[in-house]
Amino acid sequence: MSTEAGTQIAVITGGSRGLGRSMALHLADRGVDSIITFKGRADAAAAVVAEVAARGRKAIALQLDIANSTSFGAFADAVQGALRTSWGREQFDFLVNNAGTGASVPFLETTEATFDEMMLVHLKGPYFLTQRLAPLIADGGRIVNISSGLTRISFPGSSAYAMMKGGLEVLTRYLAKELAPRKISVNTFAPGSVATDFRGGAVRDNPEANRQIAAVTALGRVGLPDDIGGAIALLLAPENHWITGQRIEASGGMFL
């Protein structure tokens, strides 16, 4: 068993692709190791672990279905086992609740099944996963809940998704208050439109959508994963310990 007491460790849900992958790599560049989760793509997760190793840091991939809260106890045990085996630690430092999926359905056509999926993935899942993992977060640690620019900007077809992200933002403020005695800071980070495979690559692979988004964005383009991964790494830097209970948007200035 190796002991790396001085190493900071982040747990990043949905860390095998897109924004989560970028977060793990940017944190590795700043000397932070990671436990990333994946739902089904073990190969993609293994690729991120290899990329982190190429940067001189350590990452471990664990499977997690954020919609299945009955699995969270076993997942917490797996995290604790990984901490002990790979780092000689009992706790980690940062939790980034990033895993998610989208739904683009008009309000009048949204089914209960779609509503329930959005609730499980974006609200119930992060709520009870954070509850399970809170004892494993070191005092003075950080939690970042990934929300969306859609809680500020209303686009038709996103009511269920944005509603759950809005609930997550409220949870952020409550966690910031209730975990403050342990000096754990909790913030919401809200990306705007980013070119990833989210919603089947709806932004990344659609030139017309890119042009429309760029036209209403102050900085004149669609966001890229590294815009978000780099910002998360900065938010988790030691100098930002005094920021808590806040909603931080990284959208390039959409609809200012």
**DSSP state at residue 100:** -
Alpha-carbon span 11 to 202, nearest angstrom: 27
Q: Is 255 helix (H, G, I), strand (E, B) or coil?
A: coil
Place of tokens 């045990």: 77
Measure the CA dihedral 100/27/41/4, to 10°: -120
Scanning the structure block, which residue is given the tokens 């910031």?
A: 176
Concerning whether 161 is annotated as a catalytic residue, the answer is yes
Q: Are 94 and 9 in contact (CB under 8 A)?
A: yes
Rounded Cα distance between 102 and 250, Å, is 18
Question: Which residue in 161, 164, 223, 251 is the catalytic one?
Answer: 161
Strand 59-63: give its sheet, edge to edge: 59-63, 32-38, 8-12, 92-97, 137-146, 185-191, 247-250
* Residues 158, 103: Cα–Cα separation, whole Å: 7
Read off the tokens for 94: 């940062």
As annotated, the active-site residues are 161
